[in-house]
Amino acid sequence: MVLQNISRFLKLAIFIYSFTLQAQLAGPTTFHHIKNGLSQSSATVLFEDSYDFIWIGTGNGLNKYDGTDFEIFEKSLDGKTGLTHEYVGALYEDGTNLYIGTNQGMSLYDRTLDIVRPYEFKNEGKKMEAKSIKSITKTDGILWLGTYTDGLYGYQTETGELKHFLVDDEISEGNYNNNHIWKVARLEHGRLLVVSSSNILVIDEDLQILKQITEPENITGVTHLDGNKFLVGTRNGSLLELEVDPTSDIQIKKTVISPGFAILSLAKDNTEAIWIGTENNGLFIYSKPTGDIKHIDYSMTRPNSISSNSIWSLMSARNGVMWMAPFKNGLSFYDPKFHKFRHININPFDSRSLNNKLVNCFREDSQGNIWIGTDGGGLNYWNRTTDTFEHYSLKDHNFGTDVVLS
């Protein structure tokens, strides 16, 4: 009898779990927070490498997370090991190496020795040792390095030859942001996409402009989805979905997401929903198939919601977990596979709760509500819309038994 009751309870628990799972997948509600262990509480960039480690760049060092512990890499003291600068602005992997863009040149992670060391530029390329690097990509022996204020550089790794591309030829106090490179990414057919604060360009490896579009709203965030598709966020809160075709034409779909609040970070999850982190206006999740936009903001009364309204970085991991870097609040993540059972028990102070915890059987009706047969409490009808229970038992004078077996 005890085994039968356990079996029936497990069946009910599994059913309730399935229902809860569907409800939670309708929209993320539970975020988990990691506030200790990082070298600094504000992460600037998130990256998952080919070995499934999560790398977190901050304003005070680089962190490697294995799912349990953090390993911290700090600024070099001897010029041989460590970061060239404590501020990490870019992370890129070419299949073998992990490149680390900092506010003073570039560093390289040595997997064999598990150390970070300064990247050794050659010849003309030594100019890059003083540059602040925001974006990195690689094509056929050329490292393309986007900088904060000095445009794009192409560094030939074998010869040390350096190419230089300025979006705006006149660098001055008033227009230097035009040469802030948010993203440089490899396209097919030997082309590159270059996104600066005010321009979206397609260029070839000889630095010839194939297509240029000016964005009047000022760009504040970019992510590369796959192939020739990109997401761009603007200072006024607009989302731009970009696709570059083989002729270098750029198709743009614009959606207003967070009017008046800058979009700082972007990512797409495994359901194709776009996650959008803003400055001071929380998180938005945009479902393209339905057009629905869900807004999640910080609240002291909801500890499992986001921990800040400014989301500096977002990343979709291969296992489906969404990672985010809220300002001054460490890391947060949403795991769509992490769900808890809801425990439904008797409540002597609520006359409309389950009236007996010994469940023998249950069945769902055509309205999605549940009939529950108990051993001592008769029949309970669970209205899942109102989350209340109606009782049919000898005590209630509306049923002929208190024991329902099937």
State pLDDT tens for residues 119-170: 999 999 999 999 999 999 999 999 999 999 999 999 999 999 999 999 987 5
Q: Residue 29 above 90 pLDDT? A: no
Indicate the pLDDT class of residue 342, thresholds 50, 70 and 90.
Answer: low
Look up residue 297 and give its DSSP letter: -
CA distance 230 to 286: 15
Indicate the pLDDT class of residue 73, thresholds 50, 70 and 90.
Answer: very high
CA distance 162 to 194: 17
Would residue 306 be called left, alpha or beta, if left means φ above 0 and alpha means ψ between -120 and 50 degrees?
beta
CB 284 within 8 A of CB 255: no
What is the pairing mode between strands 331-334 and 61-65?
unpaired
Q: Residue 188 above 90 pLDDT? A: yes
Look up residue 129 and give its DSSP letter: G
pLDDT for 11: 52
pLDDT for 193: 98
CA distance 97 to 85: 19
pLDDT for 339: 55
Instruction: For residues 326-355, give the mean pLDDT.
Output: 85
Residue 183 or residue 16, greater confidence:
183
CA distance 324 to 314: 4
pLDDT for 300: 87
The answer to whether residues 106 and 48 belong to one domain is yes
In a domain, 46, yes or no: yes
The answer to whether residues 10 and 60 belong to one domain is no
The answer to whether residues 7 and 38 belong to one domain is no
pLDDT for 22: 41
Closest of 311, 304, 335, 272 to residue 45, by C-alpha: 311
pLDDT for 237: 98
Report how many domains make up the chain: 2
CA angle 311, 312, 317 (to 5 degrees): 85
In a domain, 402, yes or no: no
Q: Residue 28 above 90 pLDDT? A: no
The answer to whether residues 52 and 17 belong to one domain is no
In a domain, 405, yes or no: no
Domain C-terminal end among 334, 351, 383:
334
The answer to whether residues 301 and 376 belong to one domain is no
Strand ranges, E, within 59-97: 61-65, 70-73, 88-93
In a domain, 257, yes or no: yes
Look up residue 346 and give its DSSP letter: B
CB 91 within 8 A of CB 100: yes
The answer to whether residues 327 and 221 belong to one domain is yes
The answer to whether residues 304 and 370 belong to one domain is no
The answer to whether residues 382 and 250 belong to one domain is no
CA 92 to each of CA 85, 147, 153, 292, 299: distance values in angstroms, whole numbers, following the listed order? 17, 14, 16, 33, 34
Domain C-terminal end among 288, 312, 334:
334
Q: Which domain holds residue 97?
A: 30-334
Closest of 339, 404, 345, 349 to residue 377, by C-alpha: 404
In a domain, 264, yes or no: yes
The answer to whether residues 86 and 175 belong to one domain is yes
CB 195 within 8 A of CB 181: yes
SS (H, E, C) 213-251: EECCCCEEEEEEEECCEEEEEECCCEEEEEEECCCCCEE
Indicate the length of the chain as a whole number. Answer: 406
Q: Provide the CATH number for the domain around residue 207.
A: 2.130.10.10
The answer to whether residues 17 and 157 belong to one domain is no
The answer to whether residues 369 and 233 belong to one domain is no
In a domain, 403, yes or no: no
The answer to whether residues 102 and 244 belong to one domain is yes
Domain C-terminal end among 299, 319, 334:
334
In a domain, 302, yes or no: yes
3-state helix, strand, coil in the chain (%, to 5): 10, 45, 45
CA 51 to each of CA 64, 214, 246: distance values in angstroms, whole numbers, following the listed order? 11, 38, 32
In a domain, 406, yes or no: no
CB 322 within 8 A of CB 338: no
How much is the mean pLDDT over the chain? 90
